[in-house]
Structure 1
Amino acid sequence: MSDKIVCGIHAVELLLKKSVDQVSKIYLQANRQDGKVQKLVALAAKHKIPVVRWDKSKLDAMTDDNHQGMIAELANTGALVQGENDLYQLVEDKQSNVLLLILDGVTDPHNLGACFRTADAAGVDAVIVPKDKSVGLNTTVRKVACGAAETVPFFAVTNLVRALKTLQDLGVWIIGTAGEAEQTLHQTTFKGSLALVMGAEDKGMRRLTRENCDELIKIPMQGAVSSLNVSVATGVCLFEMVRQREG
């Protein structure tokens, strides 16, 4: 499976609307003639993007995912992944407070994709990961993200601790999530420019990441289960932040 394709009607639609310059070609199932597809074909034609009609078997051979009869080929996947200097520029250029999501070592593409969807819904300004020991922006991530991977800026940094310190220098308050934290999510006041740090699926945040957070919080758990899936926990935390900031 190539990392240079995006599958599915909704994902391709968002790509054409938000990041059309990234699309080099559209592959369309030959017998798809419905109105939704025709609108996307017209949008592709408007931007002079070629549309190739193929049999379903050929599209199936391109990906293991459910392509829904439409696949977009990307011109340059590297352009979707930005570096740390671009991240700092984003923070400096924004005229209002930023909200960032930092994922410290999330390796499951389904989790990263789900985090992208949540980040988009919560109005997050950027998703940040370390370059090493973290899943990249692959086809599965984009598929699960349903287009959010093309709408939320994505940054891969060489040294996460250095990035945290630089963000702090730029006025961003770093909030880490950890089960051993004394303060819960609902006991915390969220204001100003914030970065939420979520740990890896199995071990949580790494020690140095934890030590360089300004504050640690936890989600209050009422049942027998001691932790939540990282994408679910991300949603719980982000929307409490959004609720307070909007209130």
Structure 2
Amino acid sequence: MSKQPSSHTPKDSHYARLRRAHRDRHAEPAKPAVDGIVRLYGLHTVVAALANPRRKLIRLYATRNAVNRLEIDPENLSCPFELVEPRVLDSELGSDAVHQGVMLETRPLPPLGLDHLDAADLVLVLDQVTDPHNVGAILRSATAFGAGAVVTTTRHSPQESGVLAKSASGALEEIPYLQVVNLAEVLEDLTRRGFQTIGLDSDGPMPLEQTFNGKRFALVLGSEGKGLRQKTRATVDALARLEAPGAIRSLNVSNAAAVALYAARRAITS
């Protein structure tokens, strides 16, 4: 049997490295935003923010093409509007930002407390997950599966930003993103509120589906590198694993969150 040629030759890899190096050398960094202002970008992100009554809007910037795609009337906006060329947004946001021709300057969303969770049956808790792309994807999954909030720490977690919001694709406006000082105390509070707190760990003693007890769950995920901290592991009601029969046992934290949320929602509704 003849051996099929690889689709990735050493020469391909060499030229790919050269292209990446060239792109990195010529990439424009984003200009720093004024303190207290968040720059949101991307069509889905901006549409969701404009429709959120909790948002304090400052100014919308958009290209002519983006205005048409947004299907908005600049005369009826609740904030000032400025028509710009794409290069203006490239300069403001950096050449790596996929802004789709629109940028919205806003204030950060006002914080919410744990009392907001009284009507929730599902909560996601993040123990020092630092990548805003991962957290944004988690916000999107949490919204899709009807979670009441995503809870994380004020330190070692991403603040509200354009990257986080773009990765969430509008979900930041739909689900509370609660940042707390002491995660262990919050987990104890969630237990008192009737949630079963379950930490996801690849070495958990039982599969997640067999761990559910009750109809209100707080799923706790740790950072991709270190996993759950020892204090968090000691505070949760139970540790559980996601069954992964393949050669790779661990999932990216955002993928693990989506799988766990699906399992929890099925347990709640069964």
Give the TM-score normalised by structure 2: 0.81
Q: What is aligned with 2:104?
A: 72
Question: 1:142 touches 1:149 (CA, 8 Å); kept in 2?
Answer: yes
SS at 1:25's partner residue?
strand
Q: Contact 1:80–1:150 (CA<8 Å) still a contact in 2? A: no
Q: Does the 8 Å contact 2:201/2:241 carry over to 1? A: yes
1:120 paired to 2:143: yes
Asked if the contact 2:123–2:217 (Cα under 8 Å) also holds between the matched residues in 1, the reply is yes
Q: Superposition RMSD on alpha carbons, in Å? A: 1.8
Q: Is 2:59 aligned against 1:62?
A: no
> Which letter maps to 2:80?
P
Q: Counterparts in 2 of 1:150-161, with a 5 A limit?
A: 150-161=173-184
Superposed CA deviations along residues 47-74 of structure 1, whole A, max 9, x for unmatched, are: 4322100111111111131111111111
Specify the alignment match of 1:29 in structure 2. Answer: 63
Correspondent of 2:188 among 165, 175, 184: 165
State the 1:188 CA deviation.
Answer: 3.0
- The equivalent residue for 2:130 is 107
Is 1:6–1:142's contact at 8 Å kept on the other side of the alignment? Answer: yes
CA positional deviation for 1:9: 1.0
SS of 2:105's partner is strand
CA distance in 1, matches of 2:47, 2:66: 15
1:98 Cα deviation (Å)?
A: 2.2
Give 3-state SS (helix, strand or coil) of 2:178's partner.
Answer: strand
Partner AA of 1:71 in structure 2: M
Cα distance in 1 for partners of 2:168, 2:40 equals 10
SS in 2 for 1:239: helix
- TM-score (ref. length: structure 1): 0.88
Equivalent residue in structure 1 for 2:236, among 164, 189, 213: 213
Distance 1:45 1:175 in 2: 49
> 1:6-50 CA deviation, whole Å, 9 max, x = no partner?
11111111111234633221101145453x32x2x32x6434322
CA distance in 2, matches of 1:151, 1:31: 26
Question: Residue 83 of structure 2 aligns to a residue in which SS?
Answer: strand
Unpaired stretches in structure 1, ≥5 consecutive residues: none
Indicate which of 3, 6, 11 corresponds to 2:45.
Answer: 11
Q: State percent identity of aligned pairs.
A: 31
What is the CA distance between 1:186 and its match in structure 2?
Answer: 2.8
What are the Cα deviations for residues 171-194 of structure 1, in whole angstroms up to 9, with x where unaligned?
Answer: 221011111211002323353221
Quote how far apart the aligned CAs of 1:81 are: 3.9
Answer yes or no: is the 8 Å Cα contact 2:215–2:267 preserved in 1.
Answer: no
1:131 is matched with which residue? 154
Q: Aligned to 1:197, what secondary structure does the other structure show?
A: strand
Kept in 2, the 8 Å contact 1:175–1:217? The answer is yes
Indicate the residue corresponding to 1:91 in structure 2.
117
With a CA cutoff of 8 Å and minimum separation of 6, indicate the structure with the bigger relative contact order. Answer: 1
| Higher alpha-carbon Rg | 2
Kept in 1: contact 2:57–2:78 (CA 8 A): no
**Cα shift at 1:244:** 2.1
- The count of corresponding residues between Structure 1 and Structure 2 is 234
